[in-house]
């Protein structure tokens, strides 16, 4: 943890040599060492009668990871049943060297309440009828499995999933109870993989936004709405912007449910499907902008817009401190006044970092 903190501070200091001595670094947020991952991306190997779920070795042979301690008990209980289902439904594991077989991956997500979403990533729809036929067997053994889908990845390439998603259950979202807010995880939408830290991150950022008495807030790269929905308050207008349309639909649904539950301000939370950089152009700046981009960062164009927009406070949450620092370097009028490292990915060199910027 100390190494991660040192690296983060060094990157910010190098990007902002004049300001970084004024940055207050809060105590890093520590994750549980095991059982913290809410999403398992399991590669299927072996044979239909003796499948492995885990990863592939250097020779593309399956290595079973169903006992991996990164996953909690709900996922650990599900893996052997999912592996048995491969045999029951005759889902032939995909053999990379031979380019034969069907089932490539099983992606499983668990909600804080222990409900599950399982996605079978296959080369084609060849196994669809068998999946449907044997689904009652699976649901009988995993009663908390509420969303099951078939995802089609026809290409022989190093991708986790394809474009086509066929939902096999009545429900198509997994409800993630984050405390004040229930997010809807959709099969293809981004979801933070460490739910406990994500929940604390959203609450932390909502607190920072409240300090500034903001009445207008944007959440750029909002995904299914985690930051935006935690910032809902009476008298505040919020807009979440996200390029993935399915995530926007999920965020709108959560906002509607909050409004139905009588949460003040929820009706003033809107979500738009758009490219964040294109969307901001020509609009008057809000009181606060939250950004939580993919690893590539917000990039020079959006950084330049924020820099010249006049916006007084920005919260930048990032899973890549290198691009975070680069973007901070492109916004010299906004000083990093406070930061916090969140150890979302223990046992790796990765981490989340959140920084509050204020106009000098």
Ligand X SMILES: C[S@@+](CC[C@H](N)C(=O)[O-])C[C@H]1O[C@@H](n2cnc3c(N)ncnc32)[C@H](O)[C@@H]1O
Q: Which residues bind ligand X (CB under 6 A)?
A: 190-192, 221-223, 226-227, 241-244, 247, 275-276, 292-294
* Residues 109 and 38 sit within 8 Å (Cβ to Cβ): yes
Query: How are beta strands 164-167 and 145-152 bridged, if at all?
Result: antiparallel
Binding site annotation covers 246? Answer: no
Burial class (CB in 10 A: 0-12, 13-18, 19+), 167: middle
- Of residues 167 and 244, the one with the C-beta less far from ligand X: 244
Q: CB 278 → ligand X: shortest distance, Å?
A: 8
Binding site annotation covers 351? Answer: no
- Of residues 142 and 238, the one with the C-beta less far from ligand X: 238
> Nearest to ligand X by Cβ — which residue?
223
Residue for token pair 């449907």 = 132
d(CA 290, CA 298): 11
Q: What is the DSSP letter of 66?
A: T
Q: CB 242 → ligand X: shortest distance, Å?
A: 5
With CA atoms as reference, report the closest residue to 226 among 280, 153, 177, 287. Answer: 177
Binding site annotation covers 292? Answer: yes
Largest Cα–Cα distance in the chain? 65
- Of residues 47 and 188, the one with the C-beta less far from ligand X: 188
Residue for token pair 């293809």 = 188
Q: What CA–CA distances, in Å, run from 37 to 56, 108, 147, 197, 299?
A: 20, 10, 18, 10, 29
- Of residues 39 and 141, the one with the C-beta less far from ligand X: 39
Helix (H), strand (E) counts: the chain: 9, 17
Q: CB 243 → ligand X: shortest distance, Å?
A: 4
Binding site annotation covers 221? Answer: yes
CA geometry: angle 120, 123, 124, nearest 5 deg: 95
Q: Which two tokens stand for residue 233?
A: 């308050």
d(CA 226, CA 214): 18
Which one of 68, 222, 231, 319 is the catalytic residue? 319
| Residue 319 is a catalytic residue | yes
- Of residues 226 and 336, the one with the C-beta less far from ligand X: 226
With CA atoms as reference, report the closest residue to 317 among 302, 295, 287, 346. Answer: 295
Helices (H), the chain: 2-15, 73-88, 128-141, 195-211, 226-230, 245-260, 276-280, 299-309, 321-329
Q: Which residues, including other chains, have CB under 8 Å from residue 180's CB and lie 6 or more apart? A: 203, 230
Report the catalytic residues. 319
Positions at the binding site for S-adenosyl-L-methionine: 192, 221, 242, 292
């Amino acid at each position: 943890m100390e190494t991660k903190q040192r690296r983060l501070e060094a990157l910010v200091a190098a990007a902002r040599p004049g300001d970084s001595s004024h940055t207050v670094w809060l105590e890093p947020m520590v994750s549980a060492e095991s059982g913290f991952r809410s999403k398992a991306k399991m590669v299927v190997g072996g044979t239909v009668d003796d499948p492995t779920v885990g990863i592939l070795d250097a020779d593309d042979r399956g290595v079973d990871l169903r006992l991996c301690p990164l996953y909690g008990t709900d996922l650990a209980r599900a893996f052997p049943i999912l592996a048995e289902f491969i045999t029951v439904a005759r889902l032939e594991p995909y053999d990379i060297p031979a380019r034969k077989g069907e089932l490539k991956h099983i992606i499983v997500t668990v909600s804080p309440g222990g409900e599950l979403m399982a996605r079978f990533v296959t080369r084609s729809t060849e196994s669809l009828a068998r999946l449907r036929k044997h689904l009652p067997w699976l649901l009988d053994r995993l009663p908390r499995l509420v969303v099951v889908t078939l995802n089609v990845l026809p290409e022989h390439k190093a991708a986790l999933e394809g474009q086509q998603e066929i939902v096999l259950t009545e429900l198509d979202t997994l409800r993630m109870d984050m405390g004040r807010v229930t997010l809807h995880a959709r099969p293809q939408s981004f979801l933070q993989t460490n739910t406990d830290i994500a929940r604390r991150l959203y609450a932390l950022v909502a607190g920072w936004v409240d300090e500034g008495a903001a009445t207008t807030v944007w959440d750029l790269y909002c995904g299914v709405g985690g930051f935006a929905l935690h910032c809902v308050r009476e008298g505040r207008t919020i807009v979440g912007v996200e390029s993935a349309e399915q995530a926007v639909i999920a965020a709108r649904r959560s906002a509607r449910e909050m409004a139905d539950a009588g949460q003040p301000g929820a009706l003033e939370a809107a979500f738009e499907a758009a490219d964040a950089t294109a969307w901001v152009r020509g609009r008057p700046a809000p009181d606060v902008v939250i950004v939580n981009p993919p690893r590539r960062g917000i990039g020079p164009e959006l950084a330049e817009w924020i820099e010249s927009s006049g916006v007084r406070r920005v919260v930048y949450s990032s899973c890549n401190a290198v691009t975070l620092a680069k973007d901070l370097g492109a916004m010299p009028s906004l000083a990093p006044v406070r930061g916090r490292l969140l150890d979302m990915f223990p046992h790796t060199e990765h981490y989340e970092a959140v920084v509050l910027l204020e106009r000098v």
